[in-house]
């Protein structure tokens, strides 16, 4: 038996009906919403029809278990508050199609709350041991609901946590969520590593003052400190970064944030990502030195929030080689090896077993948006690569 | 009869009891609050005791009217949500002391909502005809209460608007609210003009994107546009401004304001002040040209909110000369002529009659803060300057 692209696409479109936004193909299916739970129950049914044993764990991760030792495939079926129809759903339905068409033991997973209604890749973080359940239960969403309260909506479905040792590896297919493949006209990306992330808040505190009566030379304006810091940092990073390195000031909270008051305080987010752990450290040194220099020059008090850090994760060489082999068979010379700039459940699962990832193009690089999409040709190409990779791995294990 | 400094200080401290914050000498007496209304009723009583006719107008401005034609003196007795004890209250009590000690006809006023709970210098703006009452009534405070609803709390006190032609001029004493006098060790500032203000919001709209998967060279990051605009503007203003010119980006609203998302939109306030109307225009040209250039370079959409503008107001030469004469008598060589960087009720009253203003020092330049203060010596010096000025003007008019 081999893969059935029409069945695969039909299931993808069926899943899209759960939480359909009515705007384009977009979906509204945040973790533990009625649409998310209904989608997971439907998925459990499809898993059963495929001969897998549906298994919800205590946080709502849904596994479709093959007997004995198996290769785990999948991703997540929850969405952003305004999400695309593919995102992680693609990886779940592709895994289902592989599982039901392959003669190899393939298990399927849809992790819960990958999109971070509560934490960051919460479901796989708990399962992998990266985030203690008691700690996860304290996390709150934007409206103050706790993870503990939210997951209780699925409590009657739970059969306990799945033992990770029953899986010999994990392959996650996902949309790229960036513009690289689409811009290059390439069909497949085989992930080399998932970049590491550092994220912290920085605060400059100067002196709040009247915007009419305080001469420029006597001001200690926190916004001016932020602007100078940003300009200097961009300058200094030039000699350190690669074209894959990214850094972002995405959040700015100015105080008191009024047009007639010289701002006395700014707290802002500083996030940077790279596949090289040493470069992440070097960038941190530059950030801290630049912030200190600006604080000294402009008479600011400087302070830092706690730094969140995730180390880069290299993909398993064997699983990755199998995906590369499949990519070359399905799209000869029309694929690339590439880092993943986004976090994925595979980052967490890598604590437990070998992992690898496959990307298909995002049209115009759009994701986390109702407008997110990928051509059917590319979706099917991705599915075929998975099929070839599983065959190649089976040949190896025999 | 001459001024009584002790009576003046005692009344200043008595007024401080209405809405006393309990922190230092600070007060919490926003327009139309129970503390503000109680303070105005007490003031009306003190006016009556001084032989003036207390008169509330429909917006809560309180006049103490001398018979016939008189010189109007005063300021405002409402405060910021966290205000100092002096601010405008000083000008009101000083005017009261002058009125009750002078043989000249002096009327007293405490304007309402100078601090802008609803608009900007709302009470004097309505009285002067700068702001139609119907329009003022639609203004709302931070909690959604309308000016119309707020002023109804004082409706039973109203005797209609006072005819401006009964006043031959207006003198307002106020704390400086800036550091110039205190830093120079000078006791008195005689205002030359009240600077003009321009205030508008500017919006850069780029493209919201994933902060992990969007390479730096493909980003259209709205925060980066703001930062570049600010740096260029500071540079270009150098050749245009004077040491008295000020400009401020005091409010920044970034969207969606999340650390993992490249910000797609920023709306920020751009405010600039100068005593020279032509310079205000030249600065606006530079602001618009710089914003357009940054928008073009970084592929941003650029838009502007409505511009609020107040022209510079020159003080009346005769009233100002009288204050300068008084300053030289009270504090020989220890006073200065200076612009007012802050707006005052006098800006509005200048539509109706000649105006002038007198400043006393703010310790460390602090205002709109519980910590605002001025030494007793300086308070009394300011009162004495007013007394001398009134005598000089009387000599002239006789």
Subunit contact A342:B197, Cβ cutoff 8 A? no
Q: Which of A292, A249, A295, A247 is nearest to A269 (CA)?
A: A249
Host H or E run for residue B338? strand B335-340
pLDDT value, residue A396: 65
- For A232, B40, B174, B359, the CA distances from B112, given in Å and listed in that order, are 47, 10, 15, 20
| Residue A250, pLDDT above cutoff 60 | yes
β-strands B106-111, B246-248 pairing: unpaired
pLDDT greater than 60 at residue A26:
yes
Number of Cβ atoms within 10 Å of the Cβ of A243: 8
Which SS3 state, helix, strand or coil, does residue A166 take?
helix
Q: Are A328 and A294 a contacting pair, CB within 8 Å?
A: no
Report, as an integer, the average pLDDT of B136-156.
Answer: 93
How far away is chain A from the Cα of B51, in angstroms, using its nearest Cα? 37
Of A201, A234, A254, the CB nearest to B251: A254
Selected residue of B229, B260, B309 to mutate for chain A interface (largest A Cβ count, 10 A)? B260
Distance from CA of B157 to the nearest CA of A (A): 33
Nearest to B177 among A210, A226, A234 (CB): A210
How close B186 gets to chain A, by Cα (Å)? Answer: 16
d(CA B87, CA B80): 9
Chain A residues within 8 A of B210 when measuring between CB atoms = 177-178, 341-342, 367-368
A120 near B212, Cβ under 8 Å? no
Question: In the prediction, which pLDDT does A29 show?
Answer: 97
User: In degrees rounded to 5, what are phi and psi of residue A300?
Assistant: -105, 150
Distance from C-alpha of B294 to C-alpha of B150, rounded to nearest angstrom: 44
Q: What pLDDT digit, counting tens, does each position of A367-387 carry?
A: 888 999 999 999 999 999 999
Average pLDDT score over residue span A19-29: 94
Average pLDDT, chain A: 95
Does pLDDT of A332 surpass 70? yes
pLDDT score of A397 more than 80: no
Residues A12-33, mean pLDDT to the nearest whole number: 96
Asked if A252 lies within 8 A of B249 by C-beta distance, the reply is no
Give the residue from A87, A119, A198, A210 with the most B CB atoms within 10 Å of its CB, the best one to mutate.
A210
Residue A33 has pLDDT above 80, yes or no: yes
Please give the mean pLDDT across all residues of chain B: 95
Of A179, A210, A343, the CB nearest to B218: A179
Quote the distance between the C-alpha of residue B334 and its chain's center.
25
Contacts of A273 in chain B (CB under 8 A): 211-212
How far is it, in rounded angstroms, from Cα A388 to Cα A398?
A: 15
Q: What pLDDT shows up at residue A398?
A: 41
pLDDT tens per residue, range A180-197? 999 999 999 999 999 999
Cα of B91 vs its chain's centroid, Å: 13
Residue of B nearest to A268 (CA): B259
Which tens digit of pLDDT belongs to each residue from B29-88? Answer: 999 999 999 999 999 999 999 999 999 999 999 999 999 999 999 999 999 988 999 999
Of the listed ranges A157-161, B115-119, B269-273, B382-386, the least confidently predicted one is: B115-119
Q: Is A306 exposed, middle or buried (0-12, 13-18, 19+ CB in 10 A)?
A: exposed
**Of A246, A87, A115, nearest in space to A175 by CA:** A87
Judge whether residue B349 has pLDDT over 70.
yes
Decide: A21 and A11 in contact? Cβ < 8 Å: no
Beta bridge partners, A79, equal none
Q: Which among A198, A200, A218 is positioned nearest to A208, based on CA atoms?
A: A218
Please give the Cα distance from B172 to B320 (Å, whole number): 11
pLDDT per residue over B316-325, tens digit each? 999 999 999 9
DSSP category for residue A332: T
Is B210 within 8 Å of A259 when comparing Cβ atoms? no
Half-sphere exposure of B375 toward its Cβ, with a 13 Å CA cutoff? Answer: 12
Angle (nearest 5°) at CA B349 between B343 and B351: 110
Residue given tokens 């595979």 in the structure block? A346
pLDDT of B142 reads 82
Q: Does B396 score more than 80 pLDDT?
A: no
- Do B28 and B45 meet the contact criterion of CB atoms below 8 Å apart? no
Could you report the per-residue pLDDT of B183-214, keeping only the tens digit for each? 999 999 999 999 999 999 999 999 998 999 99
Which of A219, A253, A260 has the most B C-beta neighbours within 10 Å, making it the best mutation to test the interface with B? Answer: A260
Cα–Cα nearest to A213, from B398, B231, B365: B365
On chain A, the residues whose CB falls within 8 A of the CB of B250 are 211, 223, 254, 257-263
Nearest-neighbour CA in chain B from A231: distance (Å):
7
Distance CA B33, CA B113 (A): 10
Q: Do A260 and B248 touch (CB under 8 A)?
A: yes
Chain A environment of B213 (Cβ under 8 Å): 176-179, 340-342, 365, 367
Angle at A183 between CA A186 and CA B203, to 5 degrees: 155
Question: Smallest CA–CA separation between B53 and chain A, in Å?
Answer: 35
Residue whose structure tokens are 């459990």: A44
The pLDDT of B249-265, averaged and rounded, is 93
Q: B258 pLDDT band (50/70/90 cuts)? A: confident
Identify the pLDDT of residue B82: 87
Name every chain B residue with its beta carbon within 8 A of the beta carbon of A341: 210, 212-214
Quote the percentage of chain A above a pLDDT of 70: 99
Residues in chain B closer than 8 A to A176 (CB atoms) = 213
Q: Do residue B365 and residue A245 have CB atoms under 8 angstroms apart?
A: no
Run of H or E residues at A376: helix A376-397
* Interchain CB distance below 8 Å, B216 and A365: no
B195, B213, B252 ranked by CB distance to A341: nearest: B213
Number of neighbouring beta carbons within 10 Å of residue A91: 32
Among A108, A124, A141, which residue's Cα sits nearest to residue A40?
Answer: A108
What is the rounded distance in angstroms from the CA atom of residue A94 to the CA atom of residue A171? 11
Q: Are A178 and B254 a contacting pair at CB < 8 A?
A: no
């Amino acid at each position: 038996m081999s893969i059935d692209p029409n069945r695969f696409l039909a299931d993808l479109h069926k899943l899209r009906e759960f939480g359909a936004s009515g705007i384009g193909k977009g979906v509204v299916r945040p973790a533990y919403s009625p649409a998310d739970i209904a989608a997971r129950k439907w998925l459990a049914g499809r898993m059963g029809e495929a001969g897998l044993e549906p298994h919800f764990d205590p946080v709502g991760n849904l596994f479709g278990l093959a007997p004995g030792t198996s290769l785990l495939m999948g991703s997540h079926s929850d969405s952003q508050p305004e999400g695309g129809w593919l995102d992680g759903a693609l990886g779940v339905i592709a895994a289902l199609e592989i599982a039901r068409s392959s003669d190899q033991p393939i298990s399927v997973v849809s992790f819960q709350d990958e999109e971070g209604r509560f934490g960051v890749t919460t479901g796989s973080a708990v399962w992998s041991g990266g985030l203690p359940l008691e700690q996860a239960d304290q996390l709150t969403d934007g409206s103050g609901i706790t993870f503990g309260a939210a997951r209780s909506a699925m409590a009657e479905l739970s059969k306990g946590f799945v033992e990770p040792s029953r899986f010999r590896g994990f392959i996650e297919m996902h949309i790229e969520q960036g513009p690289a493949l689409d811009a290059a006209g390439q069909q497949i990306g085989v992930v080399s590593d998932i970049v590491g992330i550092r994220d912290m808040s920085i605060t400059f505190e100067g002196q709040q003052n009247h915007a009419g009566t305080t001469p420029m030379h006597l001001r200690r304006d926190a916004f001016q400190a932020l602007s100078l810091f940003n300009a200097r940092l961009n300058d200094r990073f030039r000699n350190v970064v690669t074209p894959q390195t990214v850094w972002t000031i995405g959040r700015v909270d100015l105080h008191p944030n009024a047009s007639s008051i010289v701002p006395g305080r700014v707290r802002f987010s500083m996030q940077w990502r790279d596949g090289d752990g040493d470069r992440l450290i070097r960038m941190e040194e530059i950030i801290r030195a630049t912030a200190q220099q600006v604080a000294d020059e402009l008479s600011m008090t400087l302070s830092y929030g706690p730094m969140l850090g995730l180390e880069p994760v290299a993909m398993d060489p064997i699983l990755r080689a199998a995906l590369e082999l499949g990519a070359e068979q399905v799209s000869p010379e029309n694929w690339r090896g590439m880092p993943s700039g986004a976090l994925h459940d595979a980052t967490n699962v890598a604590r437990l077993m070998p992992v690898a990832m496959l990307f298909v193009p995002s049209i115009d690089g759009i994701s986390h948006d109702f407008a997110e999409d990928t051509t059917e040709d590319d979706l099917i190409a991705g599915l075929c690569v998975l099929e070839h990779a599983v065959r190649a791995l089976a040949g190896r294990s025999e």
